[in-house]
Amino acid sequence: MSILPQGEDLRNAVKWVAEERKSHPDKELGKLVQEACARFDLSPLDADFLDRFVREKSPPVV
């Protein structure tokens, strides 16, 4: 079982961050999250979820 974001904008933001990380692996994760929040006009609660979600799913930096 996986946790899926509820709102369409939040789902699109998660997808966008995943695609951007593939295209630009050197880009800082925090900047991608901030850009996604602005691009998809996420609420503070959704922005917090997105930040926690992508950090939990991202591989550790070595």
Sign of CA dihedral 1, 37, 44, 61: positive
**For a pLDDT cut of 70, what percent of the chain falls above it?**
84
- Is 1 inside any structural domain? no
pLDDT at residue 30 tops 90 = yes
Q: Classify residue 2: in a domain, yes or no.
A: no
Q: Is the residue at 48 inside a domain?
A: yes
Residue 42 counted as domain residue: yes
Q: How many domains does the chain have?
A: 1
For 19, 23, 53, 55, the CA distances from 27, given in Å and listed in that order, are 12, 9, 17, 14
Which domain range does residue 28 map to? 8-57
Q: Report if residue 62 sits inside a domain.
A: no
* Average pLDDT rounded to a whole number, residues 24-50: 94
In a domain, 12, yes or no: yes
